[in-house]
Amino acid sequence: MKFNKICVLGLGYIGLPTASTFAAHGVKVVGVDVNPDIVDILRRGDIHIHEPGLRETYKTALASGNLTVTGRPEEADAYLITVPTPFHEDRSGEYNGQKYKLADMRAVISATEAILPFLRKGNLVVLESTSPPRTTLELVAPILARSGLKAGRDFHLVYSPERVLPGQILRELIENARVIGGVTPESAQAGADLYSIFVKGEIIKTDATSAEMVKLMENTYRDVNIAIANEFARLADKFGVDIWETIRLANRHPRVKILNPGPGVGGHCISVDPWFFVEAAPELTPLIYNARRVNDAQPRYVVEMIRRELGSLKDKKIAALGLAYKPDVDDLRESPAVEVVHALQNEGAKVKAWEPFKPDAKLPGIDMAPSLDDALKDCDVIILLVRHTEFVNLKPSEISAATRARLIFDTVNGWNANEWRTAGFQVARLGVGK
Ligand SMILES: NC(=O)c1ccc[n+]([C@@H]2O[C@H](COP(=O)([O-])OP(=O)(O)OC[C@H]3O[C@@H](n4cnc5c(N)ncnc54)[C@H](O)[C@@H]3O)[C@@H](O)[C@H]2O)c1
């Protein structure tokens, strides 16, 4: 199938790089976002998210004349849905007295409905948003059927999960293997034709529900494995050993690959997607459910450790380094670092947070420092919450001169404890029992 023009709905971390990459490969792209502020920023030639290389790719796409940005879809050969699929903040499900989170599919529903007036025979519709199993068949297809056209007969419908790593999105979009799940084999082929415009990784065709499962299994696998690393860290604390060293040794086993513990799991994917399985089948998912609970409890565990170290948190002045949900990104969604800061404050601590990737972020109830120096200058304790490269590279001797704090608490194994001790700091680390 040939694609002269495509329409990408949702211009965030996934949609904007995807739209820009298609445009940079010669396809006419209409990028659509319902947020007028985002449309304004993009139309000015600026971008609203931090992702290495995105600004350049976006500018190239705009300059080529292939990419336009607007608030409404237009007629096109293919429609890509890249809108958010968070969980509901205010609603939850319950199974056997245990609460679980529910997927908020409103953006997928409204984006699908927005395509309806433009859908024509022979078109391709692709859902990229991470979604609960059977969403393509049972949510998207029925909405599109309101056009009078049937998925798989009159137009192609595909689920194709996005598995890029934030920080490396532009490279991984092109190089990663791509799973294309069609509602029919012909739909899968149409999806493969579309992505082969720029994908250099393997393109693997399957059915839509398998593709949905693949994406959820990938993120759930990581969540469960991080949960066990977090439990191992708690055990290491209890038994007086160093979790980082024991993981290093355990990973010398040829068939063991334990992930790293930390202050919790965040972001728009791993901390959200396992709930989609739990919601779909709570009776079948006790392990997935409990892994989520372990990881969700980890910020609280970190705060307990800090309290243990300090005696009391009341009126302690704390510099919190990093608020992003993982290293070297500006994404603060579901970030455990943010939760740690809130929990410290609830215990009476006075926290100043420094996030170099989003220094202007306005987070309710969080005192954002305008600079690292400002965060450090008047604090009693420094807590490392995110392994940003620039934090890892900090020189303990320089920090020593910039603060009166003499205690650091490292939750991500970002710092060499001996170097900090030599510079006069007392060092506490997650997963390192005394
Ligand atoms: N961010 C990641 O690293 C990543 C990785 C893999 C998969 N995903 C999945 O991709 C999807 C998108 O995630 P994201 O991080 O790009 O989200 P995002 O919040 O960065 O961007 C989504 C954009 O969609 C817009 N939007 C909402 N409703 C819309 C509608 N009806 N029509 C048009 N635009 C609409 C929003 O204004 C926003 O700009 C999610 O399902 C996510 O789980 C994300």
250: Cα within 13 Å, side-chain hemisphere: 13
pLDDT band (50, 70, 90) for residue 433: confident
By most ligand atoms within 8 Å of CB, the mutation choice from 29, 33, 331 for ligand 1 is 33
By most ligand atoms within 8 Å of CB, the mutation choice from 11, 13, 164, 168 for ligand 1 is 13
215 is known as an active-site residue: yes
- What percent of the chain clears pLDDT 70, i.e. is strictly above it? 100
Helix H or strand E segment including 247: helix 243-250
**For ligand 1, atom 20, which residue shows the shortest CA distance?**
12
Is residue 341 lining ligand 1, measured as CB closer than 6 Å? no
pLDDT at 434 over 80: no
pLDDT at 335 over 90: yes
379 is known as an active-site residue: no
Q: pLDDT by residue (tens digit) across 356-412?
A: 999 999 999 999 999 999 999 999 999 999 999 999 999 999 999 999 999 999 999
pLDDT at 185 over 90: yes
Q: pLDDT by residue (tens digit) across 413-431?
A: 999 999 999 999 999 999 9
Rounded to whole angstroms, how far apart are CA atoms 351 and 276? 34
pLDDT band (50, 70, 90) for residue 324: very high
Is residue 35 lining ligand 1, measured as CB closer than 6 Å? yes
Beta strands in 322-431 (DSSP E): 350-354, 367-368, 381-384, 407-410, 426-429
**For ligand 1, atom 30, which residue shows the shortest CA distance?**
111
**Residue 67: which of 123, 14, 24, 9 has the closest Cα?**
24
pLDDT at 175 over 90: yes
Q: pLDDT by residue (tens digit) across 154-168?
A: 999 999 999 999 889
- Look-up: residue for tokens 């650091």? 408
